[in-house]
Amino acid sequence: MSDIRKQLGLRPIVNVSGTMTALGASIVVPDAIAAASAVMPQWVEINDLHRKASAAIAKACGAEAGFVTASASAGITLALAGAMTGADLAKVEQLPDATGMKDEVVVMMGHLTGYGASVEQAIRLAGAKVVAVGNVTDARGYQLAGRITERTAAALYVVSHHTVQYGQIPLDEFARIAHSKGVPVVADLASECDLKGFIAAGADVAIYSAHKFLGGLTAGIVAGRKDLVRATFLQNSGIGRGMKVGKESVVAAIAALEAWANRDHAGIRKTERGYLEMWAQRFAKFPGVDPRIVADPTGNPIDRLELHVDPALARITAWDLADALAAGDPPVIVRDHEAELGFFQLDPCNLHPGEEMVVAARMEAELEAARGRNTPSGRTHAQRKAARFERLLKWPD
């Protein structure tokens, strides 16, 4: 397989972090590549193409209709905008000025997280106001009911490893309360594998990434109630114009959904489990390293290897080990958003064949190098985080 990264002067990274936008999201499936390549030289009537995509999304997601937009984040903004405007094109053109419209969106405080940008900003881009429910680690049904007023346009529910994973209102109860007040539920499910369960549980609109687990080109998939999806689509005449998606991404989303339905999920999981067990066996030999196979926190059928690092014994902190892996040759990028707690994870779902051995060899090399040190690095996680922000602010240098 040719590697265009070398031609561009980019590092040939090995991704054991997961379907992360910052790393390119996923390996695009051959079906999506073929479909995108086939349509790119051709003219199509975009709205008719969107009709075909709507039917494909509805079938895959158990929904009445579907729509493809620029990303899952765009899907949040446009679905909420649709809940505010309905099919009224005058209101569509008025946004983000929401004067005279229902303009409040209720969302649990524990769901007001970030995914590279903030959920709150995705709401505000529609011209809506955020109404937080409960406390960060404790939200209750009566609090949700009490925050819904005549100004409430929609209720937003977020499923993500970034959210607080306890003390939140379950989706079915959240939807029941919102529906009792006549309020639709929009669910952000960007990285979720279950295409039908959330609508079945009560979501009126379900939003997925087309380019993460599905392996399509960059896009967002909006599925749900026909009137709400239609109102989301109509935002293309308003704020959605800046979030439009090309023909290649629409046909790739259709192809990716069809490929997902035919994928050997059980076989893939079995292969990935073998990687995890091999890694756990090899890394457990090192002092201060405790490998544990853990399930995905949001219920995706995915396991990862969680590597707990005791710096006193391993002679390296979890975050310094993650950075050493990323700086080496080849660079190995781990799932390190919780590294300050003393562990990171290895996600096997984006590996090319043979890369599992590369990961094993690189990890062992870094752990062996650390054993030769008298003491671990004195760099704190706060210092590491500050250095990352400094590097970001210097872009493109």
What is the pLDDT, as a whole number, of residue 9? 87
Helix H or strand E encompassing 334? strand 332-334
> Would you state the pLDDT for residue 20?
87
What average pLDDT does range 255-267 have in this prediction? Answer: 94
Strands 303-309 and 14-16 come out as unpaired
Strand-pairing partners, residue 304, are 294
**pLDDT over 90 at 47, yes or no:** yes
Cβ(185)–Cβ(203) below 8 Å: yes
Q: Partners of 384 in the beta sheet?
A: none
User: In the CATH hierarchy, which top-level class contains the domain 265-393?
Assistant: alpha beta
| Span 317-362, pLDDT tens digits | 999 999 999 999 999 999 999 999 999 999 999 999 999 999 999 9
SS3 335: strand
Structure tokens at 266: 């059980």
How many Cβ atoms sit within 10 Å of the Cβ of residue 165? 12
This prediction's pTM: 0.91
Say how many CA atoms lie within 13 Å of 22 toward its Cβ.
11
In this structure, the number of other CB atoms found within 10 A of the CB of residue 216 comes to 33
Phi, psi angles (nearest 5°) of residue 69: -125, -170
Q: What pLDDT was estimated at residue 1?
A: 54
Ordered by start, the domain boundaries in the chain are 26-262, 265-393
Tens of pLDDT along 9-26?
889 999 999 888 888 888
From residue 37, give the alpha-carbon distance in Å to each of 40, 250, 251.
Answer: 5, 12, 10
pLDDT of residue 24: 84
Q: Say how far apart CA 197 and CA 62 lie, in whole Å.
A: 9
Residue 88 backbone zone (phi > 0: left; psi -120 to 50: alpha; other: beta): beta
* C-alpha closest to that of 324 among 336, 332, 315, 335: 332
DSSP string over 154-220: EEEEE-STTS--SSPPPHHHHHHHHHHTT--EEEE-TT---SSHHHHTT-SEEEEESSSTT--SS-E
Q: What is the pLDDT of residue 3?
A: 85
pLDDT bracket for residue 2 (50, 70, 90): low
Which residue shows structure tokens 């819904």? 148
pLDDT computed for residue 395 by the predictor? 86
Q: What is the DSSP string of 203-261?
A: -SEEEEESSSTT--SS-EEEEE-HHHHHHHHGGGGTGGGGG---HHHHHHHHHHHHHHH
Mean pLDDT of 125-140: 96
Q: Specify the residue for token string 């749900």.
A: 224
For the record, the structure tokens of 336 come out as 């390190």
| pLDDT tens digits for range 150-207 | 999 999 999 998 899 999 999 999 999 999 999 999 999 998 999 999 999 999 999 9
Give the CATH number of domain 26-262. Answer: 3.40.640.10
Mean pLDDT taken over the chain: 94
Residue showing tokens 């990716």: 256
Q: What is the mean pLDDT of residues 82-97?
A: 97
For 247-251, what is the mean pLDDT? 97
User: What is the rounded distance in angstroms from the CA atom of residue 46 to the CA atom of residue 112?
Assistant: 34
